């Protein structure tokens, strides 16, 4: 009797992949001196920050002292606007209204990452702060505020 032995080969295949995303964090301080003079410029009219750059993109903060629309006329509206021509920018934004000591008086964060495009460049809060409550709060010192 002849016996034949067969070698059984077991081959283990292992694969892996990875991605690395880059997160860039930035901030811009927007000081508004002479706040009382900004009121009455009109619903939907904004006062804009200087252009600033975060993540190779240019942005501005738009401050609407009389609200960004008729529905928001009793509120301070605020938004971040993309100024760079782009097709898909993802960003997580938050706005802080600062006290005179630099600590946040009021903060709000956009709920999720937002895809900006040049066709839809602005994201923000039409009812960021009730204007009458803010003015009565005592946080408006020397007719100035910081965002």
Could you tell me if 64 and 45 are in contact, meaning their C-beta atoms sit under 8 angstroms apart? yes
pTM metric for this prediction = 0.79
Q: What domains lie within the chain, and their CATH numbers?
A: 40-93+109-137 (2.60.210.10)
Task: State how far the Cα of 44 lies from the Cα of 65, in Å rounded to an integer.
Answer: 9
Higher pLDDT, 47 or 16: 47
- Tell whether the model's pLDDT for residue 79 goes beyond 60: yes
Backbone angles phi, psi at 14, to 5 degrees: -125, 130
User: Which has more pLDDT, 3 or 55?
Assistant: 55
Q: Using CA atoms, how far apart are residues 17 and 38, in angstroms rounded to an integer?
A: 54
| Lookup: tokens for 132 | 């009458």
> Contact, 54 vs 35, CB < 8 A?
no
The reported pLDDT for the residue numbered 88 is 77
Is it the case that residue 14 has pLDDT exceeding 90?
no
CA atoms of 138 and 141, how far apart (whole Å): 7
Write the DSSP symbol of residue 13.
-
- Averaged pLDDT for residues 102-128: 76
């Amino acid at each position: 009797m002849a016996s034949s032995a067969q070698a059984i080969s077991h081959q283990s295949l292992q694969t892996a992949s990875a991605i690395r995303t880059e997160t860039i964090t930035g901030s811009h301080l927007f000081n508004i001196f002479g706040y009382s003079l900004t009121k009455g410029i009109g619903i939907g009219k904004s006062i804009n920050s200087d252009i600033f750059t975060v993540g190779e993109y240019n942005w501005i903060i738009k401050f609407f002292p009389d609200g960004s629309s008729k529905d928001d006329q009793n509120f301070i509206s605020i938004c971040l606007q993309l100024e760079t021509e782009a097709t898909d920018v993802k960003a997580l934004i938050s706005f802080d209204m600062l006290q005179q000591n630099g600590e946040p008086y009021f903060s709000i964060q956009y709920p999720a990452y937002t895809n900006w495009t040049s066709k839809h460049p602005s994201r923000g809060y039409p009812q960021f702060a009730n204007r009458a409550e803010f003015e009565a709060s005592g946080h408006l010192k020397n007719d100035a505020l910081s965002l």
